[in-house]
């Protein structure tokens, strides 16, 4: 028997390795966690820049916000009542509709 034939016979006799699904799930979980942390890390400079920009604009925007609060308050109340009515109607529809 030639060495190539012996090697082929050895490989043919071996069963393929069993798949370890728990290991694969753990590896996938760690990869997902690492990607999530990398995403959070990538957002940190944007958060710092946005916070700095808003802090710098606060003296300009504060008087505008105070003057608009009087005009916007009734609109916010109407929108809140409409939203609550919509949520109640949706809940009642699901509660009393036939399954």
Using one digit for the tens of pLDDT, what is the confidence trace for 29-50?
999 999 999 999 999 999 999 9
Q: Which domain holds residue 61?
A: 3-96
Q: Work out the average pLDDT over 51-59.
A: 94
Give the predicted TM-score (pTM) of the model: 0.44
- Quote the number of domains for the chain: 1
Q: What is the mean pLDDT of the chain?
A: 90
Nearest to 13 by CA among 3, 5, 21: 5
Rounded CA-CA distance 46/51 in Å is 8
Using one digit for the tens of pLDDT, what is the confidence trace for 9-24?
877 776 666 788 999 9
Rounded CA-CA distance 39/36 in Å is 5
Q: Residue 16: what pLDDT? A: 64
């Amino acid at each position: 028997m030639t060495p190539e034939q012996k090697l082929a016979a050895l490989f043919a006799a071996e069963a393929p390795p069993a798949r370890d699904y728990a290991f694969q799930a753990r590896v996938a979980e760690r990869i997902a966690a690492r990607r999530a942390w990398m995403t959070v890390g990538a957002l940190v400079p944007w958060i710092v820049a946005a916070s700095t920009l808003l802090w710098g604009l606060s003296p300009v925007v504060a008087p505008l916000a105070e003057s608009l609060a009087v005009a916007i308050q009734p609109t916010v109340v109407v929108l809140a009542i409409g939203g609550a009515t919509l949520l109640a109607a949706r809940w009642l529809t699901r509660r009393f509709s036939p399954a």
